[in-house]
Structures are given as C-alpha cells and as structure tokens.
Amino acid sequence: MGRASVTRIDVLKGTGTRYRSVLHRADGVVVELDGGGYNVVGGPARRVPHDIAHLVVERRLGLDAGLWGVLAGGGIVQNASFVGRLPPHALRRAKAQTDPQGETLRQAEVLVRAVADRCLAHGPSPVTPGELAALRRAVGDRWWASGTTASALASACLELRDASVRWEALPAGESLALEWPAAGPRTTRR
C-alpha cells in the first residue's frame, strides 16, 4: 500500500508573538486557529508555538483524538473557525464530531504541558524508568496515554526543540508547513 494521506497544516508567523495555524483538510475544508500562546521547551530558541507543540506531542504519543486529530477528522474547537464556503450543516456536524472528544482534548492539553515541562527540565536526554513513573504520577492515570513511553518522550523533546529553532529563524509573514495523518480521530486514552 502507498503512503498514507496527510492533512497539511501551515503555521504562519505574524509580527511579535502572533501566529495563525491553517489546516487544509482532505475534504477541502479549511480551518483556521488564531494563536499566540507558546510552550517553553528550552534549547537555543527556548519556546515553540502552542499549536506546533500540540502537533508534535499528539503525533509522538499517538493522541489521535487531540486537537489536530479532531480538526482533521471533521471537528471544530472553540478557538477555530472555518474559512470559505462550507457544505450545508457543516458546523452542526463538526460539533457532533467534537463533543464526544472532550476528555481526549483535555488529555492532549495536559500532556502537551507535561512534555514541554519535561523537555525544559531535562532536554532531549534519555528518559529513565523512574522519571517516566514520576511523570505518570504527576499527570495522573486519568490523563496518561498508552503511547507515553520513554522513547516517545525523548523523540518529542528533540522534535519540539528542532521546531523551536526553525520557528525562531522563520521571518514574519512566512509559514512552516507541517503534516497530520488524514485519518479521523480515534480515542487512545487509557
């Protein structure tokens, strides 16, 4: 079988700390998020836009029903809006897609913060079993995801720091083109 289809996400750098993320769904629908929040991850550039942190952490930990999985799968969240002409009843269908994912969306928020904090504190160093257990206790079983492994955490930290460097070097008005698997959301909570 060939390469799986992907959903393109353009994160457009504005002036100051503003940015905008534009998701181009496989069905042609465009969704925009107006950003401004950042996660501090350490390294030479120190921080990364929160939308990029979500993408990295959700992909690395297998959170298919986090922010980007829900949006790519047809949902809509509070700070997102559709761009352009929509099919009839698109907003109603999008909310029906999103509503059952409330817990997984909150789980993604908790884990993005926990991974960014871990990256800030320890860098891309290997994650010890004790550190992984401590992180699980700090996050709690409610928010823990089965894909949160030592390897996934170390990879997420490396990718977050790399993304922060690429973002810092990006001129205002330019964008980073990122990808999300196009398949719809599925719950990966444990």
**Encoded tokens for 73:** 């799968």
Burial of 162 (0-12, 13-18, 19+ CB in 10 A): middle
What average pLDDT score do residues 26-31 get?
A: 88
Query: What is the per-residue pLDDT across 117-159, written as a single tens digit (0 to 9) for each?
Result: 999 999 888 999 999 999 999 999 999 999 999 999 999 999 9
- How many structural domains are present in the chain? 1
3-state secondary structure at position 62: coil
What's 15's DSSP letter? S
The chain-wide mean pLDDT, for the chain, equals 90
**pLDDT level of residue 57 (50, 70, 90 thresholds):** very high
Helix (H) or strand (E) holding 91: helix 90-98
Show the domain range for 83. Answer: 6-181
**pLDDT level of residue 10 (50, 70, 90 thresholds):** very high
Asked if residues 113 and 40 have their Cβ atoms less than 8 Å apart, the reply is no
Helix (H) or strand (E) holding 42: strand 38-42
Q: What angle do CA 158, 155, 24 make, to 5 degrees?
A: 85
What sign does the dihedral 55-38-156-67 (CA atoms) show? negative
1 belongs to a structural domain:
no
How far apart (Å, rounded) are the C-alpha atoms in residues 133 and 101?
26
**What pTM did the predictor assign?**
0.90
Question: Does 168 score more than 70 pLDDT?
Answer: yes
163 belongs to a structural domain:
yes
3-state secondary structure at position 11: strand
187 belongs to a structural domain:
no
3-state secondary structure at position 188: coil
How far apart (Å, rounded) are the C-alpha atoms in residues 145 and 155?
16
133 belongs to a structural domain:
yes
